[in-house]
Structure 1
Amino acid sequence: MMRLGEVVGWVVLGTVAVQGASACTNIVVGRKATRDGSVLITYSSDIAIMPRLLRVPGGSHAAGETVEVKGWEADDVRGRIPQASTTYTVLGLVNEHQVSMGETTTGGRRELRDRKGLLDYDALMLLVLERARTAREAIALVDALCREHGYGSSAETFSIADRHEAWIMELINKGPGQKGIVWVAARVPDDCLTVHANMSRITTFPLDDPNNWLYAKDVISFAAEKGYYDPKSGRPFSYRDAYHPDHGPSARRACAGRVWSVYRRAAPSRDFSDAWFRGEPGAEDYPLFIKPDRPLSVGDAMALMRDHFEGTPYDMTKGADAGPFGSPLRLRPLVFKVDGKEYMWERPISSPHAGFTIVNQTRASLPDLVGGLTWFTPDDASTSCFTPFYACMEALPEPYTTGDYRTFSWQSAYWVMNVVSNATYDRWSHVIPDVRAAQAEQEGTLLKMQPAIEEAAAKLAATDPKLARSFLTNYSLSSAETVFDRWRKLAEAIFAKHVDGYIKDAHGEAHETGYPEAWLRHVIESHPGRFSPPGKIGLTDY
């Protein structure tokens, strides 16, 4: 969001964004469900933009001062609203008080959308982060800002966390000409996690548990007024049924599959069925919250964001659709037609279409200056590298603020990550081992160093906060430069090693690779007789 020359979040130059961030995945993990007591929010935004990590400093503001309403998806200013007397520094989607956010678009009833509302979801999130000291304050601010200025996006699910607790908040507009939203917010149990992925997750909920459930006063009465719910029916009110009524089999397959894949990996002992996400009639929905079989680490959260349904019947690296080299790449559109009949690809968590992926980490065990950070990577998480950026940082690394979507640049982290990604997709089985080795080494080093870095920073924060801030700034800058340099060298190494259909060994000798037998069999069967030469086949040295 650009304000008086300052910017925060992820923005796009000009008008190159081709759609809203309508395809996103969030995982939200309570503090007792993580190894180190962190509250985690992951967020992957699959959108054709060039994201840049940017920062806005907080401060005190004079009475009568205003602020631009502007998010990261478009370069236009939607308007201005009164500025808060005090705002907090925000880096990415974490602020200096360790309030963290993410989102997925759920759509909801089309007749309730009002594009004239001043606040798009992205502008709303950033305004909230500048003003909230806790997750509960953030929820109240979402409501208050929409009532005052109007909400201009379709339905959303927000992930909202602070150092102690995590929430998901589902909200939807009231329709053209009406300011405000109807909403419900659920606290994630401390020992549990949840996932939302472009589909409403909240159904029925208690009305008398303010410690764990918050909601708009008119969330039920407004639904009754609009004819979305009949209080005389005897049925309990369901937020999803009222405001998101048409989740058919295709939507489940595209959205609920991502929930299932996190749940089946985080809690394999539960043996979650695929029936709901495959659209089977009468199948049971997945629970809103689950307790993982073991506490998750930050590295575990990163791994979950790299999922392509590996190890399941829907493994996108297997089968003819994965090509000869087992690629999970599936070109858009998600739904396609052949001979007039509709089909659809699987929709994984890790997508080639990702603009950025983050893992936000907040901790009560550390001072705010140290505890809040975002692990950020441009592009697809499965082929890129997460880098830690602390919310207290006073400067940003140039490669993560450089470039635009139109023009390639070796100086831009976004483009360097994309070079590696696009060099990997078409030759996945050959190249991904090199990428995973680089990820394991680079991220592994950063994760191993993190406790020592933060212990030193916490000690500095107790006596010299300014020095602690400088220490973490320098560490984050140097880490980012190291990752950027490593990925640029990785891109060069991939092109040098995997060249013209050969793979070079450690001595630089080129070797033929051929194709997997299963794929060759598919090719032969699809063209009977075509590849059978006359006579005996000799040595192929022509």
Structure 2
Amino acid sequence: MEYNKADLSACTSILIGKKATIDGSTIIGRNEDAQASWPKHFVVREHQEFLTEQEFISTANNFKMPLPKIRYKYTATPEWTTKEGLFEEDGFNEYGVAMSATESAYANETVLGADPLVEDGIGEEAMVTVVLPYVKTAREGVARLGEIVEKYGTCETNGILFSDADEVWYLETGTGHYWVAQRIPDDSYAVVANQLAIQEVDFDDPDNFMFAKDLQTFVTDNHLNPNPETFNFRNIFGTHTLSDEHYSTPRVWWGQQQFSGATEESPMSEDLSFIKKANRLLSIDDAKMYLSSHYEKTEYDPLNESAQNHLFRPISLAKTQESHLLQHRPNMAPEVACVHWLAMGVAAQSVYVPFYMGMNDTPSAYKIGTLPYDGESAYWAYKLVSVLVDGHYKEFGKQLQTTQKKVNITLNKLVRSTDKIAQQMDNPGDLAQYLTEASAQGAKEALQAYRQLTADIITASTDFSPLNFKTDLNL
């Protein structure tokens, strides 16, 4: 089975600053959306020191570049096959830097005509691999990726998320060599959905903006800015189409309505703000809710029977391969502070399992899974529940929700108890082993609950056959 992921990727992202969260965490996250049946793995790439400089060569488009001799430890969610590229997508490194790549976006024909995409430039499939293991801060991550885009070019228009204990950044590539990045204010959040999102760029504010060195000159020389008194990256480089209004902006609208309160703004508005302040302090559970949502309690929810139920593309959908949230919590060592919350499959029908950055391995079920279906794989265990529930949502939807609630409570309790013990441990080896075991225990309990749910649904479904017949006592 083959497909071009670049043609299908369509994700949704969230970024939250440390003063906007209930516990001082920085949070970034994204749904990786591409294809309904395309397994993901979850791995730890150990710290390595090579004798000679390494080289990255893409199997997707032959992009290549040299890599440093020292590669920091990091977590990643690669594809089940490397044939179309690695697509490591998301993770933490040993310094507590988080990265998620990418949020697919679209540039307009005018800017692409002035600086076309580069066929063998860096793309989504390579970004985490060549950036995350080589930076010590989120700001360094932005700078490294920006330099790569300027030097080698990029083959796609994308948004990339970075964070560490203090800062949250969003970088956008607009054309083959031009990019801009904005720091999300500490007291704010942003939600992004397949559009270039960054608006006004302040070229005199290096604390909050980074950009390609000739960006202004490029725009001026090519007469690309329709409003020269400002520099609105979205308006200059982005698109404004009917497709945007049905596919992208409703997801941004939904998140802003949930976090900042109801407004009269239309779901199809092209003028929604990139940066927003919430009407309360946000938690990791708020972020999970957003990435697993589908316009609940509105006429746009695909699960209701409204005439509008498929007007807009939902946030959580069948093409989600995995959903992740990268939470860096304050006042702890990075090994304990950094939690990689991972929901395999469709977020609305899965659960976010917490994995500590300090672990040295992932459970075996997370390192396997191919095509076709593999019953031992974590990816397929969660996908199977989705398939079974989708066929009879009225019968099994409540049962799914009950299982999710029980598992979430169990996992939240596990994190609290693990934190207490881990923060008292001084020996690095013992801490790594403990965090590995604790992460594996959470994954085990969640998988057991979902496999039990699968068994219950299959057992109950045996009476749904169209060959069934109710006997009339008069016969």
TM over 0.5: yes
Does the 8 A contact of 2:149 with 2:178 survive in 1?
Answer: no
Partners of 2:342 and 2:401 lie apart in 1 by: 17
RMSD: 2.5
1:26-37 to 2 correspondence within 5 Å?
Answer: 26-37=13-24
SS in 2 for 1:480: helix
Question: Judging changes above 3 Å, is the alpha-carbon distance between structure 1 residues 422 and 160 closer, same or farther for their aligned structure 2 residues?
Answer: same
SS in 2 for 1:40: strand
Per-residue CA deviation, residues 31-55 of structure 1 (Å, 9 max, x unaligned), is: 1111221111111011122111122
Partners of 1:258 and 1:540 lie apart in 2 by: 53
- Number of equivalences: 451
SS in 2 for 1:500: coil
Partners of 1:77 and 1:256 lie apart in 2 by: 31
Question: Judging changes above 3 Å, is the alpha-carbon distance between structure 1 residues 58 and 151 closer, same or farther for their aligned structure 2 residues?
Answer: farther
Q: CA deviation at 1:398?
A: 1.1
**Residue of structure 2 equivalent to 1:501:** 464
SS in 2 for 1:444: helix
Matching residue within 49, 57, 67 for 2:55? 67
Matching residue within 248, 251, 258 for 2:241? 248
SS in 1 for 2:419: helix
1:324-403 to 2 correspondence within 5 Å?
Answer: 345-403=311-369
Partners of 1:101 and 1:321 lie apart in 2 by: 39
Does the 8 A contact of 2:121 with 2:155 survive in 1?
Answer: no
Partners of 2:123 and 2:291 lie apart in 1 by: 26
Instruction: Please tell me whether residue 239 in structure 1 is matched to residue 229 in structure 2.
Output: no
SS in 2 for 1:211: coil
Q: CA deviation at 1:183?
A: 1.6
Question: Judging changes above 3 Å, is the alpha-carbon distance between structure 1 residues 311 and 540 closer, same or farther for their aligned structure 2 residues?
Answer: farther
Q: CA deviation at 1:390?
A: 1.7
AA paired with 2:34?
I
Q: CA deviation at 1:79?
A: 5.1
Per-residue CA deviation, residues 353-396 of structure 1 (Å, 9 max, x unaligned), is: 10111111112321111111211122100111211122222112
Question: Judging changes above 3 Å, is the alpha-carbon distance between structure 1 residues 541 and 251 closer, same or farther for their aligned structure 2 residues?
Answer: farther
Does the 8 A contact of 1:25 with 1:196 survive in 2?
Answer: yes
Question: Judging changes above 3 Å, is the alpha-carbon distance between structure 1 residues 541 and 106 closer, same or farther for their aligned structure 2 residues?
Answer: farther
SS in 2 for 1:107: coil
Partners of 1:113 and 1:400 lie apart in 2 by: 38
**Residue of structure 1 equivalent to 2:288:** 302
**Residue of structure 2 equivalent to 1:524:** none
**Residue of structure 1 equivalent to 2:438:** 475
**Residue of structure 2 equivalent to 1:53:** 42
AA paired with 2:103?
T
Does the 8 A contact of 2:150 with 2:178 survive in 1?
Answer: no
Instruction: Please tell me whether residue 44 in structure 1 is matched to residue 31 in structure 2.
Output: yes
Partners of 2:403 and 2:246 lie apart in 1 by: 32
Partners of 2:294 and 2:147 lie apart in 1 by: 39
Q: CA deviation at 1:25?
A: 0.5
Task: Structure 2: state its 5+ residue gaps.
Answer: 77-90
Partners of 2:224 and 2:473 lie apart in 1 by: 70
Matching residue within 186, 196, 200 for 1:200? 196
**Residue of structure 1 equivalent to 2:136:** 133
Q: CA deviation at 1:207?
A: 2.0
Instruction: Please tell me whether residue 278 in structure 1 is matched to residue 268 in structure 2.
Output: yes
Q: CA deviation at 1:401?
A: 1.1
1:19-30 to 2 correspondence within 5 Å?
Answer: 19-20=6-7, 22-30=9-17
**Of the two, which has the highest radius of gyration?**
1
Question: Judging changes above 3 Å, is the alpha-carbon distance between structure 1 residues 192 and 234 closer, same or farther for their aligned structure 2 residues?
Answer: closer
Partners of 2:189 and 2:288 lie apart in 1 by: 15
Q: CA deviation at 1:320?
A: 5.3
Question: Judging changes above 3 Å, is the alpha-carbon distance between structure 1 residues 118 and 199 closer, same or farther for their aligned structure 2 residues?
Answer: closer
Q: CA deviation at 1:459?
A: 1.9
Per-residue CA deviation, residues 253-303 of structure 1 (Å, 9 max, x unaligned), is: 2111111111111122xx23342x325xxxx72222222222222222111
Does the 8 A contact of 2:369 with 2:377 survive in 1?
Answer: yes
AA paired with 1:364?
P
Q: CA deviation at 1:24?
A: 0.2
AA paired with 1:380?
V
Matching residue within 171, 174, 178 for 1:172? 174
**Residue of structure 2 equivalent to 1:264:** 257
Partners of 1:60 and 1:370 lie apart in 2 by: 24
Question: Judging changes above 3 Å, is the alpha-carbon distance between structure 1 residues 313 and 260 closer, same or farther for their aligned structure 2 residues?
Answer: same
Question: Judging changes above 3 Å, is the alpha-carbon distance between structure 1 residues 499 and 152 closer, same or farther for their aligned structure 2 residues?
Answer: same
Q: CA deviation at 1:446?
A: 0.9
**Residue of structure 2 equivalent to 1:109:** 108
Partners of 2:456 and 2:116 lie apart in 1 by: 49
Question: Judging changes above 3 Å, is the alpha-carbon distance between structure 1 residues 80 and 157 closer, same or farther for their aligned structure 2 residues?
Answer: closer
TM-score if structure 1 supplies the norm length? 0.78
Matching residue within 450, 455, 467 for 2:420? 455
Does the 8 A contact of 1:68 with 1:77 survive in 2?
Answer: no
Does the 8 A contact of 1:263 with 1:272 survive in 2?
Answer: no
Matching residue within 202, 206, 211 for 2:207? 211
Partners of 1:540 and 1:252 lie apart in 2 by: 57
Does the 8 A contact of 1:96 with 1:372 survive in 2?
Answer: no
Does the 8 A contact of 1:43 with 1:358 survive in 2?
Answer: yes
Partners of 1:52 and 1:91 lie apart in 2 by: 11
Partners of 2:362 and 2:55 lie apart in 1 by: 23
Aligned-pair identity (%): 24
SS in 2 for 1:223: helix
Does the 8 A contact of 1:50 with 1:414 survive in 2?
Answer: yes
Partners of 1:88 and 1:391 lie apart in 2 by: 12
AA paired with 1:144?
E
Which 10-residue stretch deviates more, 353-362 or 208-217? 208-217
SS in 2 for 1:351: coil
AA paired with 1:239?
F
Task: Structure 1: state its 5+ residue gaps.
Answer: 1-13, 175-180, 323-327, 331-344, 503-509, 513-538
Which 10-residue stretch deviates more, 309-318 or 435-444? 309-318
Q: CA deviation at 1:18?
A: 5.1
Q: CA deviation at 1:23?
A: 0.3
SS in 1 for 2:243: helix
